[in-house]
Amino acid sequence: MNRPEVICHMVSTIDGKIAGQSFTAEGLEPYLEFYGNTKQKFEAQATAYGASTAKEIFVGKGEKTFKGSSSITDESDYICGEEAPYFVIAIDPLGEIPWKSGKPEGRPGLEEARIIVITSSHASKEYLDLLRDKGIAYLISRGTEFRLAEPMEKLKSIFGIERISLQGGGLVNGTFANEKLIDKLSLVVIPFADSSSSVPTTFETGSFFKHPISPLEFKLKEMQKIEPEGLWLSYERK
């Protein structure tokens, strides 16, 4: 395979919600602990997040999104930090994460990790200047429609990444799924249901995705109860 293997690893409610009041309830500790321990078994070399999730984790939910004014004139990728032991990959097509450091902050164990941003020609020149100033590598998805296939190949050929843990949110999961870039699905199901229509789900599609969408079919490989009332489902793509 000319790209990294992708394992989508998520926690969701019974009805597929990945945020909301269910995630502030008491008693989630055993499910979240199982989620973290399971990720370690993947032996991935990188974790990938969508822009909103990466911003919330590494910059701060309340921070304003980055706004640039000028369009990209030089669409060359910027490569640095290839020898890092681990990578955090941020999928940020519009160039909106206001990075404060070239390394992911706020997460234990990532002190030596480096950041890679996958963006597009819709990002501003100022945003690319910010990334270079912080020592953050970036790969640009060129063309009128944002696609991940080419940047994914570069993650393997340039950075040596063999396996990625994809951890949301729903839009970035949906983008990977719609391009048939998810190989395995690891789903920790917590014993709650949330009928709110405004809460994101495990897989979603934004207005930026233009070509026809076809379902991604999986086969169940393993199932395990998480005490007291949770469930882990492990799938491989058919």
pLDDT in tens, the chain (238 residues): 999 999 999 999 999 999 999 999 999 999 999 999 999 999 999 999 999 999 999 999 888 899 888 776 667 999 999 999 999 999 999 999 999 999 998 778 898 999 999 999 889 999 999 999 999 999 999 887 889 999 999 999 999 999 999 999 999 999 999 999 999 999 999 999 998 889 999 999 876 666 667 889 999 999 999 999 999 999 999 9
pLDDT value of residue 134: 96
Which string of DSSP letters, residue by residue, matches the chain? --S-EEEEEEEE-TT-B-SSGGGGSTT-HHHHHHHHHHHHHH--SEEEEEHHHHHHHHT-TTSPPP---SB-S----B---TT-S-EEEEE-TT-------SS--SSTT-TT-EEEEEEETTSBHHHHHHHHHHT-EEEEE-SSS---HHHHHHHHHTT---EEEE---HHHHHHHHHTT---EEEEEEPS-----TTS-BSS---TT--S---PPPEEEEEEEEETTTEEEEEEEE-
Overall pTM > 0.85: yes
Gap between the Cα atoms of 212 and 208, Å rounded:
12
Q: Give residue 157's identity as a one-letter amino acid code.
A: S
Strands 87-91 and 114-120: parallel
Residue ranges, CATH 3.40.430.10, the chain: 1-45+164-238
Contact 17, 196 (CB under 8 A): yes
What would be the CATH architecture of the domain defined by 1-45+164-238? 3-Layer(aba) Sandwich (3.40)
- Asked if residues 107 and 57 have their Cβ atoms less than 8 Å apart, the reply is yes
230 CB contacts (<8 Å, ≥6 apart)? 30, 31, 34, 188, 189, 190, 191
